[in-house]
A = this chain, B = another copy of it.
């Protein structure tokens, strides 16, 4: 179903932007795992809306309240359930959206799909705010993966035409602006500031790397690592493209350059290059799993835009009010890590069923 994800885990996300609360249930986490609540909170904070710049994240970061699934901070086998209260549940600003939809948003499609009964306030169930419960689940999975030596890390790879460079080899949790090359990060920030001053927004790319995954994780065909990751990644609002390893660059390559030759290094089988992004036939090969997600520019911009009156079927125009991130990509970094962690931990659990071959 639409708000649930997973095969060996089952994540269910609920709530709307302005409903009393948003939340999630996460079933399938084995009992006896203690959650580091402080680390989880820190992880959540990376996603939380910040102030005018990235140096001063808002103090009042979303605080999950756990309703079930734990004894103290340790999983007990029952589904983990947590909610975050919505403090801002005014709906006045949004009545207009049921008449004149914002371009690039789901206002129109929600109106049609739900026959006008949708919760339009703050984007309802389509709001980026719903990535907060995903971060609760993902933050937990990321901790559990880390215990098995698996690191899930992401970065801002590009904002508009400014790209990071250098290789992502370790988590950037401590960076407010998660890039490898800080100089490039500075340029990205300048671009974002400029775009904001122009009442505009800008898109970008997030790159994610998962190291430490043993070979043999994932399944053929529709449960390959690509399918699993895509299944959750396109659940993040604004993601419109996804590529693994060389991805779209593969399309311009020759097999003689794109094939990753195998070699033995320190007794282990590795590949000399990693165009495959660590995945062959849907299954991990032991190399770092690498993917990139393209984010469209935040559709909320403070400019007059063409739209229509859905009731009277007449052309209209609108200006979206309120303050909005001019570039969602920075705050999306932990969300991508969360989603990747959920997908990977689900696949890791699935692998455990496959071990009773005859010796």
* A149 CB-CB contact with B under 8 Å: no
A113 in contact with B14 (CB, 8 Å): no
* A22 CB-CB contact with B under 8 Å: yes
Q: Which residue of B lies closest to A284 (CB)?
A: B109
A306 and B163 CA atoms in complex are apart in Å by 33
A74 to chain B, nearest CB (A): 6
A196 to chain B, nearest CB (A): 11
Known contacts A77-B113, A106-B280, A358-B34; A246/B240 CB under 8 A: yes
B308 in contact with A269 (CB, 8 Å): yes
Within 8 A of B (CB), among A242-267: 242-248, 250-256, 258-264, 267
Task: Give A285-316 as 1s and 0s: 1 = Cβ < 8 Å from B's Cβ atoms.
Answer: 10000000011111111010111101001110
Q: How many residues of A contact B (CB 8 A)?
A: 155
B242 in contact with A241 (CB, 8 Å): yes
Within 8 A of B (CB), among A156-201: 158, 160-161, 195, 198, 200-201
- The segment out of A38-46, A50-58, A226-234 that lies at the interface is A226-234
Task: Give A54-74 as 1s and 0s: 1 = Cβ < 8 Å from B's Cβ atoms.
Answer: 000000000001111111001
A114 in contact with B77 (CB, 8 Å): yes
Copies in the complex: 4
Known contacts A259-B104, A261-B307; A118/B76 CB under 8 A: yes
B297 in contact with A105 (CB, 8 Å): no
A259 in contact with B103 (CB, 8 Å): yes
A126 and B76 CA atoms in complex are apart in Å by 12
Within 8 A of B (CB), among A1-35: 1-8, 10, 12-16, 19-23, 25, 27-28, 30-34
B240 in contact with A241 (CB, 8 Å): no
Chain B residues with Cβ below 8 Å from A7 are 1
A239 in contact with B256 (CB, 8 Å): no
Partner of A230, one of B5, B103, B118, B230: B230
Known contacts A28-B353, A110-B281, A256-B200; A10/B20 CB under 8 A: no
A96 to chain B, nearest CB (A): 14
A11 to chain B, nearest CB (A): 8
- 15 further A-B contacts with Cβ under 8 Å, apart from A144-B356, A200-B256, A242-B242, are A2-B27, A32-B357, A33-B357, A33-B358, A34-B358, A75-B117, A76-B117, A104-B259, A114-B357, A125-B221, A226-B239, A241-B244, A258-B296, A261-B306, A276-B296
List 12 A-B pairs, Cβ < 8 Å: A2-B220, A10-B12, A14-B25, A32-B114, A67-B83, A104-B276, A110-B281, A203-B253, A224-B235, A241-B247, A258-B299, A262-B306
